Structure 1
Amino acid sequence: MIEARAVVVRSDATSVWVKLSDPVAGCGRCNEPGGCGGARIAHAFGRPSDIFRIDNTRGFVPGDAVVVSLRDGAALGAALTSYGIPTAGALLGVIVATWLGGETSAWLGLVAGLLMSYGVMRRVAQRRGWRQQFSLSIRADGAACPHPRVQP
């Protein structure tokens, strides 16, 4: 489980908005010799948002300390799907077009493969089960306050 501590900043009857209190910054060696600078790449187009909307299933209110979780393998699955399907479509389009018509048609095959991949990705993304595996879950952060919260 990938977990991060957060604080509830806003809530309503169905949702909470949480702000990460310890945003992940990579290995911490960005400014040291041998560091890859991976955390700086994430900020190339502006600071990423550290506020997320999550279903409020437990009645959290602003100020509550929580832990936000993402299922193991969800990030890898998203990356493999997002990059794998278009790459496979492009390669398949180029291979088939080259086999059928030579080098000039390879470009058309590339475009056709990418367009088909786009259609496949849209269908995959519309499947409810596929989207649910990437949903964040939330629980109270027991380390922040040792006292159980009393529900009225």
Structure 2
Amino acid sequence: MNRMQKLIFSCLLIVVVAATVIWATKPVHDAITVTKTSQINAVFGSPGKKVFEPVLPDREIKLPQDFRFHPEFQHEWWQFVAQVEDEAGQTYWLRVRFFRYASDDRVATGWQDPQIYIANVVLNSHLGMFTDQRIARGGIGQAGG
């Protein structure tokens, strides 16, 4: 190794050691904080500290009372699946799904309503699969309230 290569190697080694020391002694309060937001906020809403109720496995479901919107949760998903048969005996599978997504936890009306609704339909038959999907915003008469 010639003298110039030794000098470059020494400088790089000093930079790596200094960066490691700075990283290792970084105060804990500079650590990234975790909030109760969804990554989907970056797509549909404004990122920030929005707080929704967590979905926990021990939550009891009461029917028919739970056939309603639950604005305390950020996401909801309803699904209906059926196997149907026509008069000729041909079998079809039908799946209808509705999603509700709140871009933030405000309760508002009109254009300020943070609710987004998505409907998805899939029909399978011997001819193939047919799908359709619609997206609408709540509060302005397109969907929901």
Fold match (TM-score > 0.5):
no
User: Normalised by the size of structure 1, how large is the TM-score?
Assistant: 0.23
Larger radius of gyration: 2
Q: Relative contact order (alpha carbons < 8 A, sep ≥ 6): 1 or 2 greater?
A: 1
Instruction: Answer 1 or 2: which has greater helix percent.
Output: 1
User: Normalised by the size of structure 2, how large is the TM-score?
Assistant: 0.24
Instruction: Answer 1 or 2: which has greater strand percent.
Output: 2
